[in-house]
């Protein structure tokens, strides 16, 4: 029997979003993207290959998953078995650490942790680019969670050159991300379906590719120079332009709800009052508000009034993939 290996990976929030695949089998993106890894939300995953098992066994938060629910994990483990010519099935046990049952658990931390634990448990000793490429096969956003801090997923052209690179792993800039829990339920349109629909039906998709190229070119100097206003303006407009791809798809759809719009207004009001802060959001209604640390108390107070203190979670830049003893 091979030894059990445990890995921890944190989730990340994209400032310049990934929204569309060029290749659905290999999960190659239409564009590059750029994210910040967060400290508050992470997944611990233990993998053990065992020749006595007759199927992969997957447990999430102490609950055994059905065969259907664990299909993506099984497919991913098949990739690892192919890489090693191994045939044993695996026991996989995964725990999502999020402050509440908040709908903030993410496929990014899940597949980054699984890539780390499964590859090492199978006897591979992959370097970070190889881990990033492997994580990508589970979920696009997982490509970036191999690294901490600011990370760019370089789109590349094929399986070999589509992986993440660190932009600034140690973030010596007192940034905070205030996450609002506006709706903890599962989304109706998955990211996978949603982005595919945007690629194939939105007339604005070509413009989106140009937006991403411009935003990536402009945000990197802002990160280097700690220019918060430029960083904030880019991440907010990039999020809104991504969401314009959902509104302009056929059939149209949206991840916004009424609270999302109210929270966006409240961010703009705070800015008007002199509190520098900017929002982004992914394939769900929950806003994430970027600020520098001195602005955290005012933002926490305002959103606690609106949505309740338990629905306001403060995160900071977090680390990359780690193996736990």
Q: What's the min distance (Å) between Cβ of 18 and ligand 2P0? A: 4
The minimum distance between CB 107 and ligand 2P0, in angstroms, equals: 4
Q: Does 300 bind ligand 2P0 (CB under 6 A)?
A: no
Q: How buried is 273 (Cβ within 10 angstroms: 0-12 exposed, 13-18 middle, 19+ buried)?
A: exposed
CA 103 – CA 186 distance, rounded (Å)? 7
Residue whose CB is less far from ligand 2P0, 18 or 279: 18
With beta carbons less than 8 A apart as the criterion, state whether 204 and 197 touch. no
SS3 30: coil
Contact status, residue 281 vs residue 243, Cβ threshold 8 Å:
yes
Q: Is 177 in the site for ligand 2P0 (CB under 6 A)?
A: no
User: Quick check: 305 and 275 in contact, CB under 8 A?
Assistant: no
Q: Does 18 bind ligand 2P0 (CB under 6 A)?
A: yes
Whole-number minimum distance, CB 179 to ligand 2P0, in Å? 14
By CB under 6 A, tell whether 33 contacts ligand 2P0: yes
Question: Out of 30, 191, 202, 246, which residue is the one contacting ligand 2P0 (CB under 6 A)?
Answer: 191
The residue number with the shortest CB distance to ligand 2P0 is 140
Under the criterion CB under 6 A, does residue 48 sit at the interface with ligand 2P0? no
Tell me if 119 contacts ligand 2P0 by CB under 6 A: no
Q: Are strands 28-29 and 163-168 parallel, antiparallel or unpaired?
A: unpaired
Q: How far apart are CA 200 and CA 208, in angstroms?
A: 13
Binding residues for ligand 2P0, rule: CB under 6 A, are 14, 17-19, 27, 33, 107, 139-141, 191-192, 282-283
């Amino acid at each position: 029997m091979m030894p059990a290996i445990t890995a921890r990976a944190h989730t990340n929030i994209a400032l310049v979003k990934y929204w569309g695949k060029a290749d659905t089998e290999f999960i190659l993106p239409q564009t590059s993207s750029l994210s910040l890894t967060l400290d508050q939300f992470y997944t611990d995953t233990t993998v053990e290959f065992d020749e006595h098992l007759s199927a992969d066994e997957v447990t999430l938060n102490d609950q055994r998953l059905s065969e259907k629910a664990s299909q993506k994990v099984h497919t991913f483990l098949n990739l690892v078995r192919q890489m090693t010519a191994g045939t044993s099935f695996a026991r996989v046990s995964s725990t999502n650490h999020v402050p509440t049952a908040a709908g903030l658990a993410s496929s990014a931390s899940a597949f980054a942790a699984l890539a780390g634990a499964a590859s090492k448990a199978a006897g591979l000793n992959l370097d970070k680019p190889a881990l990033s490429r492997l994580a990508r096969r589970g979920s696009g956003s997982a490509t970036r969670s191999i690294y901490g801090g600011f990370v760019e997923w370089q789109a590349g052209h094929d399986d070999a050159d589509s992986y993440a690179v660190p932009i600034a792993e140690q973030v010596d800039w007192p940034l905070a991300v205030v996450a609002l829990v506006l709706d903890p339920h599962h989304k109706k349109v998955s990211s996978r379906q949603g982005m595919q629909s945007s690629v194939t039906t939105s007339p604005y998709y070509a413009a989106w590719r140009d937006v991403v190229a411009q935003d990536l070119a402009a945000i990197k100097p802002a990160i280097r120079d700690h220019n918060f206003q430029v960083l904030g303006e880019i991440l907010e407009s990039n999020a809104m332009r991504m969401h314009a791809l959902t509104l302009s798809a056929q059939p149209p759809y949206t991840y916004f709800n009424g609270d999302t719009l109210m929270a966006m207004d409240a961010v703009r009001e705070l800015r008007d009052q002199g509190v520098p802060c900017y929002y982004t959001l992914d394939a769900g209604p929950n806003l994430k508000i970027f600020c520098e640390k001195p602005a955290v108390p005012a933002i926490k107070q305002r959103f606690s009034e609106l949505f309740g203190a338990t629905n306001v979670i403060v995160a900071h830049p977090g680390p990359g993939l780690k193996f736990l003893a």
